Homo-oligomer: A and B are copies of this chain.
Amino acid sequence: MNKHEVIDAIEAADQAINARDLITLMDFYEEDATLVIEPGRYAHGKDAIMKAFEAIFDFFNQSLRISQSDFQVVEGGGVALVICKLKLSADGLGETKVSIERKPTYIFRKSVDGKWRCLIDNSYGVELVA
């Protein structure tokens, strides 16, 4: 099976996160997208999402690294649901080494310019439900 274009978009966004490149990262979000910061806490719209990423990068002392794998893509009704495995690590917090694994759910739509952009970025997946 050919690799789905939306996976290329996610991997490019991950590279932008790891490089702290907010300009590149923000182009992967629709204007009215939503980021789940943590369960019950959301950033709505690109400005709020950019501020949230700045705060996340600061929280991890610019040491956040993410990588994702095992992508499953389901398309329907003009959107794509992506489920995958996420590894999140950070070593810039002194003695505390952060290493977290999650199964995110993302919703993407192909824009008129041909680029897949994120509508809902929920790295917590079904963890939103206790």
Q: Which A residues fall within an 8 A CB radius of B?
A: 30, 32-34, 36, 39, 42, 44, 70, 72, 74-79, 81, 83-85, 103, 105, 107, 109, 117-122, 125-126, 128-130
Query: Which residue of the partner chain B has the closest CB to A104?
Result: B126
Contact A74 B33 (CB under 8 A): no
The dominant DSSP class at the A interface is: strand
With a cutoff of 8 Å between Cβ atoms, the chain B residues found around residue A118 in the complex are 77
Contact A36 B74 (CB under 8 A): yes
Q: Give this chain's copy count.
A: 2
Known A79-B107, A83-B125, A126-B126; 4 more pairs at CB < 8 Å? A32-B77, A72-B129, A77-B117, A79-B119
